[in-house]
Structure formats: C-alpha cells, structure tokens
Amino acid sequence: MTLKSLNAASTEEATQMLRPCVDIPRWINEIVDARPFGIEAGLLDFAEQAANPWTEAEIDGALAHHPRIGERAEGSSAEASMSRREQSGVATSQDTAEQLIAGNRAYEKKFGRVFLIRAAGRSAEDILAALQERLNHTPEEELPIIAGQLREIAILRLEGVLEA
C-alpha cells in the first residue's frame, strides 16, 4: 500500500487496507474519514492519536486476533503474516520457552486476555521479563499498558504496510 493508493481507495478498500494493522473499527474509520493525507508522517501522526483512548471492549476485540507470545500465528491472513514477522526474532531456549508458556497461562488466568507486547526488536528474555513484571499489576494498571502496546503494534504495522 502506498499513501497515494490509500488516499484514492474507496472507503471499503481503505478499510480493508488498514484492518490488518489493528482491527478496531473506530480507529480505522477515523483514519479513513480523515483522508487525504499529504505525507506519510501526517498519516502516522494522525493514526497515533485516532480513537484515543480505546475502550476495553475494543482492546478485547483486537486481542482476539493475536497469538500468544512465542506461538506461531496460523493462517494466511495479512495479520497472521505480520504477527509471524514481528515474532521472528523471538528465538528462545527451551527453558525460556517453557517460562513464556507458563507466564502466558498465568497472565490469561489473572487478566482474562492474552498477554500483549510489541515483540518486534525484543528478545525472548526481554519479553519474559516484561511478562513477569506485568503479572504484578492490577487489572486497572495493566489496561493502559495493553492499550499502549496495541497502539505501538498498530503503528509499526501501518509503517510496514506503507513500505510494502
């Protein structure tokens, strides 16, 4: 996708272009409705603030599409492909992998949702340390962190889609 193609796309086409970045309809609609953008940086700046803050229901809906950290996303969708690429650097030892599995389970039991972190550019050990730290949070402390991580992922994906 190029900025030019996003600007020229129909509403439906533009929506489909943005959906793999994060499937939060209000975020997508605000971006689509704000077109045209003059430069990519303008689009990215707008996307950073669009639909801010996300509601808990929007976050939960978007997280329904995210695999657990350390798991390979299944399927051939653009979102699954992005997830596999983002987690490609999360090579890990057997011990760290087992700790991530256990941490994911503990997180899901405590918070009722999948653990989410921007994996791109992070090692498995860094992710595990963040997971263990975040297990000490209350749900009220954790929600804005999840929202922030989800927004970071959305913007990184949007940047990547624009480069493609």
pLDDT digit string, tens, across residues 72-87 = 545 555 555 555 455 5
Q: What is the pLDDT of residues 144-158, one digit of tens each?
A: 999 999 999 999 999
The amino acid sitting at 80 is: A
Q: What is the mean pLDDT of residues 29-51?
A: 97
Distances, alpha carbon 149 to alpha carbons 3, 17, 152, in Å = 24, 21, 5
Is pLDDT above 80 for 29? yes
> What single DSSP character describes residue 40?
H
For the chain, list the domains and their CATH numbers. 3-163 (1.10.3330.10)
Q: Which residue has the tokens 């399927």?
A: 75
Instruction: Give the tokens for residue 83.
Output: 């997830």
Please give the Cα distance from 80 to 23 (Å, whole number).
12
Q: Which residue has the tokens 């940086």?
A: 41
Please give the Cα distance from 118 to 84 (Å, whole number).
12
Q: What is the pLDDT of residues 84-142, one digit of tens each?
A: 455 555 556 788 888 998 999 999 999 999 999 998 888 889 999 999 999 999 999 99
Look at 135 and 69; give whichever has higher pLDDT: 135
pLDDT of res. 78:
53
